[in-house]
Every structure is written in structure tokens, then in C-alpha cells.
Amino acid sequence: MEGTYPTQSFGSESALRADGDPRYESFLRFEVSGLSGPVIRARLRLYAKDATINGPVVYTTDSEWQESTLTFQSMPAV
């Protein structure tokens, strides 16, 4: 999501983007189904395309958002 387009949803983009200037934030959500037991561990690997000295940073949020309606204005707090 991009701060310069506060009401636009970017849910169909093919890449995650994060930056501080201009401000970009990305949200990633997983919905797991069809497992016969509990999830013991999950691992997410992210690779930075460009050099950085202080990121990227990963936070958890509440689960009450939907990809189709998520915008910069409506994003959940970290």
C-alpha cells in the first residue's frame, strides 16, 4: 500500500513492497486449511531486492482485514 493513494487497494499486485520514503507497507496473510493436526511451526522467508540498513521489519496485526478492502487508510495497527 502506498501513502500517496490512501484509498486504493493494491491487493492484485504481484510483489510486496516496503519503504519509508515514500511510505510503502505490505500485508501478507495466510489461511491454512485441510490439515489433520495443529500447526507446530511456520517459517516465512523474505528476500530484500535492494540494500537496506534498517529493514525490512515484520509485524503481526489482527486478522480482521480482507485483501479486497485493505487500503492505506484502513490498514490495521501493528
Going residue by residue through the chain, which has 78 residues, state the pLDDT in tens, using 9 for 90 and above.
Answer: 556 778 888 877 888 777 777 778 888 887 788 999 988 888 888 777 777 777 677 888 887 888 888 888 888 887
pLDDT the model gives residue 23: 77
Q: Please give the residue range of the domain that contains residue 47.
A: 1-57
CA 68 – CA 14 distance, rounded (Å) = 14
Give a yes or no: residue 23 inside a domain. Answer: yes
Report pTM.
Answer: 0.64
Q: Which helix (H) or strand (E) holds 51?
A: none
Report if residue 62 sits inside a domain. no
CA separation (Å) from 48 to 5, 29, 52? 24, 19, 8
pLDDT at 36: 92
Q: Count the domains in the chain.
A: 1
36 in a structural domain: yes
Residue 73 lies in a domain: no
